[in-house]
Structure 1
């Protein structure tokens, strides 16, 4: 019989839910603790591609994910007056091809949550405050709940992982700021967008808006070159002030989008950063997804890394009959190159997300205008270069067939 069956997972988003599913699938008893008071809806567009498609297919949710896909039609660059300067296919804009699928983060989390029908305990509106390991397990203290003992603890709690800070040390040791910040929030769809995205570039910054379906709601998105900013990732008021000051006086719909920011129920603001660690485990604790190896939104691969990481971690624990030392070592061995290749994508992608001068904006716009008019063989070559690097990274792991 496997040992170390009782596993506490910190974080109830994609990485944590996927891990809970696979642990339960292999006979473990997962408990998920989530700081939010309920499953979190909303979020932004995310991509599932490459090896991650194999994971969700094995979970039996790929068809449902496709039905819930954003079904985006295209994207346009617009000038300060809202005139469309260049238009491109949505999949080209997102670096997708073939079976790749785009879905809203909240929709994916809901699908994952619905797939876990029994055998998983949830603790909402709570967080871990201390982890004390001993020979027989890990004693865990919570903000609200009574202390409990678990066999293993897994941090699936994102870029600013609480578990990582408690066990591995201060975040500053592991985070690599790529020099940009991003903000996304819900805004009224006053432009009537239907599965379309508009982006207004300016030197060092970009403002955008998209809607995945024709309704009253859309998403506003802002990206800007920032360097190191002095703010607490939990201080929403300070974050909104930074965003308002950075984009003050902006053209296009910027002022209207900023006006809607103050009452947005799902305001998100953070640095575009990666997590780099020599090891993702220590004793009875391990990290999965952004907590251990976040590639940043610029990579487009955060969700795929989380899904694959959860599958591999649970599978290796099952293969090792719960021997965490063996399982954690094999997990890192299986995932390391896959993570490295996908983190490298961000370094290239970020340069195209935010341009630094009016001259670069002019060149970018002309290139996008020209692309549809090139001979098919030329345009296929250009598009192929864009997608080939992403495809190579997204498939840089072969999924094992872990048996329960």
Structure 2
């Protein structure tokens, strides 16, 4: 039975997987490049029966509801501050919306008692052996594990090392997004108010937790850019260049970039990997089937962690059977969720003035908005095995 499992990535899918593997008795190590859990990022939401079922079985649903923001209303304005469109909190909030950093902390707390976490390190090489995978790290001594799981996001290091270059699997969808925190000096309301011009959106809104703090969200259309993903000064320069010359509150929001403690900046892209496993190495979450924004990636990652751990426990560590069952059960579901990411950029920042006017005209009609809200509730779902009940029954029969 495979028992020693290394997970790369301590964002959302990684700690969720560590939680379940620990519950099933596997020996789990999580390695994360960042020196600590990341606290920033946009609010994230869970929606639909499948997400809520997994959260309930994890024992975290009530905690998440207590942390819930209630959703974030969105208002789009013109350069003179005139309101063009308002979307209510339930438009993007799902069944449960929580700050991403608080979700990461909660999943870490629920998994850390049964998993070893190693921060500030990363995998540099993977060598599959007859009995496992020999792993080299940037700083720690090499170790051997039975299995390695890449839960390290759209730009997965594990996928690059074990499956090949990122260019084979990740497709740019024509937009970039950035988020950062800033002081709430203007007394902004909770939610977001944003300047929308063709191909660009700059929004800002107060924190749900701390009225003295605000969050900025920038999105802009662009061909694929070449930049260092670890150089925040370079990324801040790209954001400034994309929004140079705009009015409203944009200059003040851009000025806050210098003091921002952390910047999230990335392309809106999607990952499509033909097979989610290779030998003793598998991918979960955005590394396998990511969509940067709007593809329900957070919920999909948590569901995928549940299924992968359950299949490994059901197969008693037989990774071939487990990986096959995991992908067979989840691929169609994950691809259905992923489709939403293709529409995010064009919806939030249509590239033309005509496109902006059309979106606003349609959604300013109550019947059209109600229809969009109704469609938003029709999310992909999948029938999930109840692994713990099944394994408990197996143990009872064997006893």
Give TM class, smaller chain: over 0.9
Deviation, structure 1 residue 309: 0.5
Deviation, structure 1 residue 344: 1.5
Distance 1:178 1:29, change over 3 A: same
- Are 1:314 and 2:297 counterparts? no
Number of the residue aligned with 2:2:
4
Cα distance in 2 between the residues matched to 1:277 and 1:382: 30
- Are 1:192 and 2:191 counterparts? no
Deviation, structure 1 residue 131: 1.0
* 1:317-376 CA-partner distances (Å, limit 9, x unpaired): 0010000011001111011101111111222343211112223323333333332xx5xx
* 1:259-306 CA-partner distances (Å, limit 9, x unpaired): 11122111011100011011010111001011111022132x010110
Distance 1:95 1:186, change over 3 A: closer
- Are 1:275 and 2:271 counterparts? yes
For the 8 Å contact 1:272–1:298, the answer to whether it is kept is no
Number of the residue aligned with 2:397:
none
Number of the residue aligned with 2:155:
160
| Number of matched pairs | 387
TM-score by length of 1: 0.92
- Are 1:401 and 2:386 counterparts? yes
- Are 1:221 and 2:217 counterparts? yes
Distance 1:381 1:173, change over 3 A: closer
Number of the residue aligned with 2:45:
47
Cα distance in 2 between the residues matched to 1:193 and 1:227: 32
Number of the residue aligned with 1:232:
228
Unaligned runs of 5+ in 1: none
For the 8 Å contact 2:268–2:291, the answer to whether it is kept is no
Number of the residue aligned with 2:246:
250
For the 8 Å contact 1:140–1:147, the answer to whether it is kept is yes
* 1:238-258 CA-partner distances (Å, limit 9, x unpaired): 211111111001121111111
Distance 1:42 1:296, change over 3 A: closer
* 1:2-51 CA-partner distances (Å, limit 9, x unpaired): x1101000001100000000001111111001111122222211111221
For the residue of structure 1 that corresponds to 2:387, the secondary structure is coil
For the residue of structure 2 that corresponds to 1:167, the secondary structure is helix
Deviation, structure 1 residue 142: 0.7
Number of the residue aligned with 2:114:
119
Q: Decide which moves more: 149-158 or 338-347.
A: 338-347
Counting only pairs closer than 5 Å after superposition, residues 5-404 of structure 1 correspond to structure 2 as: 5-50=3-48, 51-72=50-71, 74-92=73-91, 94=92, 96=94, 100-213=95-208, 214-299=210-295, 301-371=296-366, 380-384=370-374, 386-388=375-377, 391-393=378-380, 395=381, 397-403=382-388, 404=391
Cα distance in 2 between the residues matched to 1:307 and 1:26: 16
For the 8 Å contact 1:77–1:365, the answer to whether it is kept is no
Cα distance in 2 between the residues matched to 1:335 and 1:191: 45
Cα distance in 2 between the residues matched to 1:73 and 1:343: 22
Cα distance in 2 between the residues matched to 1:185 and 1:306: 23
Deviation, structure 1 residue 197: 1.2
Cα distance in 2 between the residues matched to 1:77 and 1:284: 48
Cα distance in 2 between the residues matched to 1:56 and 1:295: 21
For the 8 Å contact 1:72–1:195, the answer to whether it is kept is no
Cα distance in 2 between the residues matched to 1:322 and 1:14: 23
Cα distance in 2 between the residues matched to 1:73 and 1:130: 42
For the residue of structure 1 that corresponds to 2:364, the secondary structure is helix
Unaligned runs of 5+ in 2: 392-399
Cα distance in 2 between the residues matched to 1:197 and 1:379: 18
Distance 1:307 1:148, change over 3 A: same
Cα distance in 2 between the residues matched to 1:244 and 1:323: 51
For the 8 Å contact 1:22–1:314, the answer to whether it is kept is yes
Deviation, structure 1 residue 115: 1.4
Distance 1:332 1:35, change over 3 A: same
For the residue of structure 2 that corresponds to 1:118, the secondary structure is helix
